[in-house]
Every structure is written in structure tokens, then in C-alpha cells.
Amino acid sequence: MARWESNARERLVRAALDLFTEQGFDATTVNEIADRAGLTKTTFLRHFPDKREVLFAGQDMHARLLAAAITAAPSPATPLEAVGAALDAITATFPDDRREFSARLRPVIAGNSELQERAAFKRGGLAGAMTDALHRRGVPEPTASLAAELGIRAFYRAFDQWADPTSRQTFTELARHALDELRAATATLDQRATTVRPGTPS
């Protein structure tokens, strides 16, 4: 429990996202971000270990949440059912307030390879947390990694759709649907192109 409950972190995140959107990630210095938030470079780096992390903070909590949900899943659940439970749990923690923020975040990350690196790393961390939790349930390799991978793919797919302001479904619904699609796709890996002539893939 912080004593002043200052919103320094939040101010820094907002200032950073604003500046990154306006001038790009590279063209924005840590000093600029801190200035706009009414703080200093030192304070910025006290809150975030590096400049990129200001956009990714809080992912550790997500990893713990996913792992906890998998651990808490009923014991007869299949690997994919446990992963589905984890998706239910994590998607429920995204308030609608964050949709606009998420929507602004995506192009910034897409436009900078350093941020894409960090995103790829964080993604791996989330998948690893799920994999470990599945291991603790007794799910062997490579089933555990695979189930976790499907979960992560479903999560990001649903996240993209949810962040799109035209979307009307809930994050949870989108994630469940994405996971179903992925499960169905596993059956098509050994399937030759047949009846429907696929044009450009969607």
C-alpha cells in the first residue's frame, strides 16, 4: 500500500504511449516521456527497467494468473480444457476501459522491431507459465507445450479482435472461439487441399 498513491506509473505509461504514437518509439527519448509526465528520467527508470517495458508492464501478473487458473482447473479436465479455463480467467480481467488503450498499443508495437522483440519474449513467458502449470498437472511433453501454445495463439488472436472497435463480442467469447478454431485446425494438418479451392487465406 503506497502512502501517497501517486499515479506516477500511469502518467508515465500514458505519456509514453502518446509520444510513441505521435513521433514513433525511436524518436522519443526517455527524458521526453518523463518530462511530459512531470517527472525525470531517473524516476521513469525506477518504475520501468527499460524504455520498452513501459508498454509491457504487468505481464508477469498475467503469467501468474494463467498458471493459477490451470492449476485450479478440475482434475478430470483435459489439457485443452485447462487451457480454456485459463483463457476464461485472463480475458475476464480485461475491462472495457483497456480496449482503446490496447487498440493504440498495437500499431506502435507493430512499427518497431525492438518492441516486437519484447513482445515475442513476453509471449514466450506466458506460454512457458502455462506449460509449467500443465506439467504440474501431469501433462507430459510435448503435449503440454502444444496445449499452451494453442492457448497463447487463441489469446492473441482474440486480443486483436477485441481491440478492434468494430467488434461486439466479449473478449472471453472471442478467446473461446479462437481456441475452438485452433483445435479444429489440428485435424487439418495432415489434410490435402480438397473440395473448396482456397484462394487467398483469411
Among 13, 73, 130, 144, binds a copy of itself (CB under 8 A): 144
Answer yes or no: are the C-beta atoms of 115 and 108 closer than 8 Å: yes
Separation between Cα atoms, residue 12 and residue 18, nearest integer Å: 10
CB atoms under 10 Å from CB of 60, counted, come to 13
Stretch that binds a copy of itself, among 18-26, 40-48, 110-118, 167-175 (CB under 8 A): 110-118
- State yes or no: residue 113 binds DNA (CB under 7 A): no
Q: Rule CB under 8 A: which of 154-173 touch a copy of itself?
A: 157
Q: Rule CB under 8 A: which of 32-91 touch a copy of itself?
A: 76-81
- State yes or no: residue 49 binds DNA (CB under 7 A): yes
How far apart, in Å, are the Cα atoms of 187 and each of 40, 83, 184, 196, 202? 54, 18, 6, 16, 18
- State yes or no: residue 47 binds DNA (CB under 7 A): yes
For 37-60, the DSSP string reads TT--HHHHHHHSSSTGGGGTTTHH
Q: Residue 11, SS3? A: helix
Answer yes or no: are the C-beta atoms of 125 and 59 closer than 8 Å: yes
Stretch that binds DNA, among 48-56, 70-78, 81-89, 190-198 (CB under 7 A): 48-56
- State yes or no: residue 113 binds a copy of itself (CB under 8 A): yes
User: Shortest Cβ distance from residue 36 to a copy of itself (Å)?
Assistant: 27
Q: Is 180 left (phi over 0), alpha (psi -120 to 50) or beta?
A: alpha
- State yes or no: residue 52 binds DNA (CB under 7 A): yes
Among 15, 19, 39, 129, binds DNA (CB under 7 A): 39
Considering the complex, state which of residue 43 and residue 143 has its C-beta at the smaller distance from a copy of itself.
Answer: 143
- State yes or no: residue 109 binds a copy of itself (CB under 8 A): no
Which residues of the shown chain bind DNA in the complex (CB under 7 A)?
2-4, 6, 8, 28-31, 34, 38-43, 45-47, 49-52
